[in-house]
Amino acid sequence: MTTIKKVLCAIDLTKASRNAFDRVLSIARASKARLYILHVVPANYPFSWHQRERLKLLTTLRERAEREGVPVRTVEQHGDPARTIVLHANARKADLVVIGSNRRRGWQRFREGSVGERVLRAAAWPLLIVPGDLPSRRRKPTISGAASRRPHRAPGARALEERSPG
């Protein structure tokens, strides 16, 4: 079994990346891994694009990780998102890279492309792509009667589920 010591989570300002962060935080906490949070401002936008929202999001995510005892570092960079994710994952020797997917379809996907697909093609490490339309891991499962419902799990996610007591 591979030991996870360094995890890179690439985020943007979407729900998909917040779901990805929820997943990666539980993985990093369970494996006692260092967490790198990366935000890439696309090269076709000025670096000041959504600056306040980015700062607020990165600060919130960093504080959440610190509260849960996960060593964390945040990084912002300007450039091509897929290439920058690959660059940081390779430079940091990441054991796992986690990104969110907006599940673009049709013309939008053709026009904008898929960062996840481009990262996957260049990946030399495990890559977890978390769909944005999955329920967040932060919510607790509801209890109805004597049985509780299990949270929805993406195919193949069983191997990466956190294994914590209680």
- Confidence (pLDDT) at 68: 96
What CATH number should be reported for the domain holding residue 11? 3.40.50.620
The reply to whether 25 falls in a domain is: yes
Structural domain total, the chain? 1
| Cα torsion 130, 140, 61, 57: sign | positive
- Confidence (pLDDT) at 161: 45
- Confidence (pLDDT) at 24: 96
Identify the domain containing residue 84 by its residue range.
6-137
The reply to whether 38 falls in a domain is: yes
Averaged pLDDT for residues 70-87: 96
Residue 2 banded pLDDT, cuts 50, 70, 90: confident
**127 and 99 Cβ atoms separated by less than 8 Å:** yes
Which residue from 164, 166, 162 is spatially nearest to 7, judged by alpha carbons? Answer: 162
Residue 159 banded pLDDT, cuts 50, 70, 90: very low
